[in-house]
Chain A
Amino acid sequence: MQSLFERGPSIRTRLVLSLAIAGSLLFLDYRLNTMQPVRSFMTSLVAPIQYIAVLPEALLDRLVYLSTTRTALREENYRLQQELLELEMAMQRLNFLENENDRLRQLLGSDVRQASRRMVAEVVAVATDPFSHQLVINKGSGNGVYYGQPVLDNRGIVGQIISVGRNTARVLLISDQSHAILLRAERNDIRVLAKGTGDLELLELLYIPHSTELIEGDILLSSGLGGIYPEGYPVAMVDSVSRNEDRPYARVLVRPFAELDRVRTLLLLWPANATEEPVFDDEVPDVD
């Protein structure tokens, strides 16, 4: 029952008290980084909300799938088989080159590169905050996902894992404003640092001298120097180079290969030196 006279502390006191709690949590999380266990617990807590949020979209996809005709399926099947054939032929050549590369590296006395392990993950939610470009995927610590793990899609590097729950994990995209990645130009091995701009389609290269040899259309690969991303995966293509001498550095914008605005399926990568092991779910084959 609502009483005519308020009891307890005044609303100003209550506001100051709540603000103090929120402020100290902010300090603990941002400055001291002590909130990680609480964060992963709460991530698991809100996971159902994220699952409900994508339900309509998933249902729609299912309906579209159920209503595809036999002919369309047959055509798609044919197209996929052709693609598979081409990929298999490319694969044979790749195997041969890999073996040769290993032999040559042994001759040179350097380490043989080890294969990395992969797992497919689905995107379950997208953070809509324009100040943080993040995705939530449906694999978590139960599948061996770990903090700082690289995430790719079929075109290039997408981002890295920044927090892990039991069944979900959060991916920080390379386009986030707080993210930077070390790259190397494919053509001339120039090493560059690409920082996210908050725009899904553009990254910016930092500290590029005006005399740079980079030109539009150059392909940038991950250099593996940061220790997080493996070497040699495509990341971005140079979009524009503006050499305005008024500025201390040339302004170079690059366009990521990964379609960050419409990723649905991602690839988690366990590099050879990772301590965690991927744990695969028992895949139930989809019959219908």
Chain B
Amino acid sequence: MWIKAGLFHLLLSYVLAMVLMVMPLPALLEPWRPDWLSLVIIYWLLAIPHRVGFGTVLILGLLADILMGSVFGIYAIALLLIAYPTVRHYQRIRNYSLTQQAIIVGILVLVKRAVVYELEHVLNDAVFHLPYLYPVISSAIIWPWIYLIMRKYRRRYLIR
């Protein structure tokens, strides 16, 4: 049995996250775009860690690299580095309140962005701008809703 229940809907959520990642936004909102892909990955790692693992994160990271046009592997490395603490402590994070989870997610997104920036800085001499960290705040704020919506989605389509 290779195809498990809810595979289609699992993949659909990844596609949706990537669509939201590249969707054009008004210039005013653009710097505040939440880090959709990281949020979705963190949720699945918390909810079904026996199914979504480093392999999935690696592939999604490489696809994100292609979508963003960055050097192959930058997003993959950053996402893998935040996947590790998530998988390591998923049982603890699951039992936190939504506010506490939001703070954890904010820190994870911050780490991810810092890693991406450092790699871009080493490889392409990127210069740091403060707006690059705005999504840390917006991702943390939007996390409780993402969590609730995704939980409903998971139960509805029996993804386990």
Are A and B co-members of a single complex? yes
* Chain A interface residues toward B at CB < 8 A: 2-3, 11-12, 14-15, 17-19, 21-23, 25-26, 28-30, 35, 38-39, 42-43, 45-46, 49-50, 52-54, 56-57, 125-132, 134, 162-163, 170, 177-178, 197-198, 261
Q: Which of B21-65 contact A (CB under 8 A)?
A: 21-25, 27, 30, 33, 50, 53-55, 57-58, 61-63
Q: Which residue of A lies closest to B123 (CB)?
A: A30
Write out the residue numbers on chain A whose beta carbons fall within 8 Å of the beta carbon of B30: 128
A31 to chain B, nearest CB (A): 10
Of listed B55, B73, B126, B132, residue having the most chain A CB within 10 A: B73
- B interface SS class: helix
Q: How far is the CA of A2 from the CA of B15 in the complex (A)?
A: 25
Q: How far is the CB of A222 from chain B (nearest CB, A)?
A: 23
Using Cβ atoms and an 8 Å threshold, which residues of chain A touch B117?
131
A46 lies within 8 A of B67 (CB): yes
Which of B53, B61, B70 contacts A129 (CB under 8 A)? B70
What residues make up the interface of B, taking CB atoms closer than 8 Å to A? 15, 18-25, 27, 30, 33, 50, 53-55, 57-58, 61-63, 66-74, 76-77, 80-81, 83-84, 87-88, 116-117, 119-120, 123-127, 129, 131-132, 160
- Known contacts A18-B58, A131-B117; is-contact A42 B63 (Cβ 8 Å): yes
8 contacts between A and B (CB under 8 A): A11-B84, A18-B55, A22-B61, A22-B77, A46-B63, A50-B22, A52-B15, A177-B126
A30: which B residues are within 8 A, CB to CB? 71-72, 123
Given contacts A52-B19, A130-B131, contact A23 B24 (CB under 8 A): no
Q: How far is the CA of A29 from the CA of B119 in the complex (A)?
A: 14
CB-CB under 8 A for A49 and B15, given A11-B87, A131-B70: yes
- Chain B residues with CB under 8 Å of A178's CB are 124-125
